[in-house]
């Protein structure tokens, strides 16, 4: 699960008053109690609920070839490393005024079974990923918090 998610320290990204502001032009509200920021990962922001073995993440990839890819291809790229995938749901959604794709699936990462909910959207030269993963038996306990996390996602005004 950890290879999918992480936090890269960057001086321009910050957390203020319960909101994470990315240097890549977006912000998202942090969930309340029970979640802690994890550092030294590969995503812009990673939050962990250790008692549930659950993880939420936000990440943007800007430039390069990714923004030219279709949403289903981007969603498939996200699943690299996950085995025994069982797609539970996939639908187009609107997020921050842009078209996105929401996927929910079961899979095996390393040797652990996980349930993952993933949103991907494109805006300008960036691809944005919002993710929640937990063991299937713990998944529903954080789903409402993840929904609030996703609903708080917004693109910052260009400078």
| CB half-sphere exposure, 111, CA atoms < 13 A | 0
- Cα–Cα dist 51/25, whole Å: 31
Task: Average the pLDDT over 130-155 and give the result.
Answer: 96
The mean per-residue pLDDT over the stretch 21-25 comes to 94
Per-residue pLDDT at 158: 64
| Cβ proximity of 55 and 1 under 8 Å | yes
Total domains present in the chain = 1
Q: CATH number of the domain that 114 lies in? A: 3.40.1000.10
Domain carrying residue 17: 2-155
50-79 pLDDT per residue, tens:
999 999 999 999 988 888 888 988 888 888
Quote the CA–CA distance of 121 and 95 in Å, as a whole number.
8
Handedness of CA 1, 119, 43, 17 (dihedral sign): negative
- Pick 81 or 45 by higher pLDDT: 45
Separation between Cα atoms, residue 136 and residue 107, nearest integer Å? 10
Would you state the pLDDT for residue 51? 92
Tokens of 31: 């969930």
The pLDDT value given to residue 159:
46
138 and 87 in contact (C-beta within 8 Å)? no
């Amino acid at each position: 699960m950890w290879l999918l998610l992480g936090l890269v320290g960057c001086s321009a990204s910050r957390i203020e008053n319960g909101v994470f502001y990315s240097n890549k032009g977006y912000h998202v509200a942090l969930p309340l109690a029970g979640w802690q920021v994890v550092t030294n990962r590969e995503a812009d922001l990673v939050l962990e609920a250790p008692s549930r073995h659950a993880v939420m993440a936000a990440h943007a990839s800007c430039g390069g070839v990714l923004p030219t890819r279709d949403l289903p291809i981007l969603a498939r790229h996200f699943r690299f490393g996950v085995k025994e995938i069982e797609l539970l749901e996939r639908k187009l959604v609107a997020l921050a005024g842009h078209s996105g794709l929401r996927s929910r699936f079961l899979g095996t990462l390393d040797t652990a079974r996980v349930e993952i909910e993933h949103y991907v959207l494109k805006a300008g030269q960036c691809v944005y990923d919002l993710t929640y993963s937990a063991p299937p038996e713990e998944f529903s306990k954080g789903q409402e918090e993840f929904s609030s996390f996703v609903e708080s996602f917004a693109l910052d005004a260009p400078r």
